[in-house]
Structure 1
Amino acid sequence: MDQKRQRRHVLRVDRRSYAQLQAAVQQGLLLPCDTVVGSMRNGTVYRPAPWSLQHQQLLDDDRLQLGDLVIQGAMTHVPAPEFRALVQASPTYMTYPGLAPLVQQLRDQTPAFKDDLWQAGLRAAVAAGRVTVGVNGTVVGPGPAYRWLPQETRLTQHLGHWFVLLAFEAEATPRTTSTLVAGVDVGLNPLATAVCRDVAVAGIRRADLRGLRIEERLLGEHLLYAAARGALCDLTKWLAERAGVVVVEHLDLTTFASRYPQRSREHALTDWQMSWLPQELHARGIRLARVDPARTSQMCSVCPSFTLGTRVGRVFECPNGHQIDAHINAAQNIIRRWWATRRRAHQA
């Protein structure tokens, strides 16, 4: 078993807090420091003044208190164990009552799901108003024991935007002894499909948020994120228990003309691919590899030679008569591409 280690997550700060943060810098409430944030090496990093470091808590899903500062942003965009640690360290954290069943309904994807009934439950929660709850009243169930490290909180200004860096102490994790290779195909419906001898799928139901008032719609978006967060954290655990290498596509979200980049952020996929999954795999000694995504969804993974096929709904078909789930086909092609890359490197 390894010793406990830190895990760090960079969260976006809402623009409404920018002016307040600039004033805090001028007033000496935020002090420049030499902390390095890997993805933002050219940014300026600040640590809160000692008073702020000692008095931090999550007020609700959108607000973090740092002493006299209250900043708004995507404060729930951390994995489930870390979110649980935030709530445990925040005695006045407030949320709406009765949310856990609504999140579970999104994850179950049962045929009995009714948008109108789900919306009625959401409206009832908003009508009841926020209340102070313990950790058992949140939308995260039991999980491993993590601890929030407020003394490590930092704020970063990078390319005109502000981000908050939160640190956690993670429980010790066993190192892998597996030599299996897993391939992961990401999308939106489902969120991700993993192949490692057997198959695991992370998916949630797409709830209809039309016709809701602003506060209700914002809560609905939080619930969709919470459901996706839970599904993806379960998939991470599944991969960590099986694989020695996890292969994903190297996606450049800046090249997409569709709404996929925005929706992948709304459904926790971006956070999972870029931060949560790499940190968990690294902690367990599992290699994360990224491969070129070109045509991984267009080739047949069953044919021994390169064969293009077509997708009909969720089924991939090739001219040689093979039919396979399109997402499983893509995940298997991702594994094949990794092996091909290894062979070329060995020959070179």
Structure 2
Amino acid sequence: MAKLEIIATATFGLESVVKREVEALGFKVLKSEDAKITYMGDERAIVKSNLWLRCADRVLLKMGEFKAESFEELFQQTKALPWEEWIPEDGRFTVTGTSVKSKLHSVPACQSIVKKAIVERLKETYACEQFSETGAEFTVKVTILKDRATITIDTSGAGLHKRGYRINDVAAPIKETLASAMVQLSFWKEGRLLVDPFCGSGTIAIEAAMLARNIAPGLQRKFAAEQWPTIKNELWKEERKKAFSAINYNAEVRILASDINPAAVKGATANAEEAGVDDCIEFSVQPVAKVMASEEYGIMIGNPPYGERIGEKADIQKIYKDLQKFFVKNPTWSLYLVTSDKEFETQFREKPADRRRKLYNGRIETCYYQYYGIKPPKSNA
């Protein structure tokens, strides 16, 4: 199999998590930059990356990178790339783009030039003037940053956060990729109790259960590259089969998830069933004030509501007070909480968070606050 450069794109703040995931799959990381991890792999690596990366947004095949200060340079260097190795004669392809701090600042013009260059290359290869465009779909992206162009093809299709289990949604849901990162950045692991008192559609609890059971996040969905002739169907079948056999049904997973909204809990339960993890999550309808600690050294991970109106603010301040009471009573517990409310830290307790990390839920800037409880004895750790 050919050696390829692959890029896993990531939301700002999650690069280190995605890098760890890429390395855990056995691939050599070449570069870790803002919002992307570049690594070496082959066709099988594209398949495994799409099936297994929990926190990446997309998996891109890197076609080339070069300096482009004029449309002529962009055209010629794009045309020089081996497009026929990936796009068949009947392939459908679209070109998207971005340009930041570059001489070629008109994105529509850059997209048009790249499209024309690819068409010219394919015309010469397939010796034809017209293409039917009835086959597999290819999304080419041209990204120009400080006059340096990177040309990629998207192998994922829909973003990787679309796992396929979310059949019921709530307002302003947390993205699956962010939920998984929150769990991975916490001290929670198999055997410890996990509580999410603001479960909404159940995403944090479901992602934690899938992580503990080693369920590949992409098992229930399809990817753009599954239709590409260059990546054989056998590879997808083999890697899916391996992923199914890797599921650990014996993992000790104990998760309590609750919400004040009965409709949200009903939807979360259905989503957990769809994900195949409903047997290790106990859902209930209750406010934060009713959450009890049935044991020591538990982990609470949550995404509380936030609002602008006076009534909402009063409700949210009560939630913070209830959380505060819980953690005063239970000093062995740890709290991991993501919110866009910049007042949370000062309202929760005088002592600042042990760690903070700026993260994005879609386009919303949030902060991930981490408060560490008393460490468990080593036998319980």
TM-score, shorter chain, exceeding 0.5: no
TM-score of the two chains, using structure 1 as the length reference? 0.22
| Greater RCO, CA 8 A, separation 6+ | 1
Q: Which has the larger Rg?
A: 2
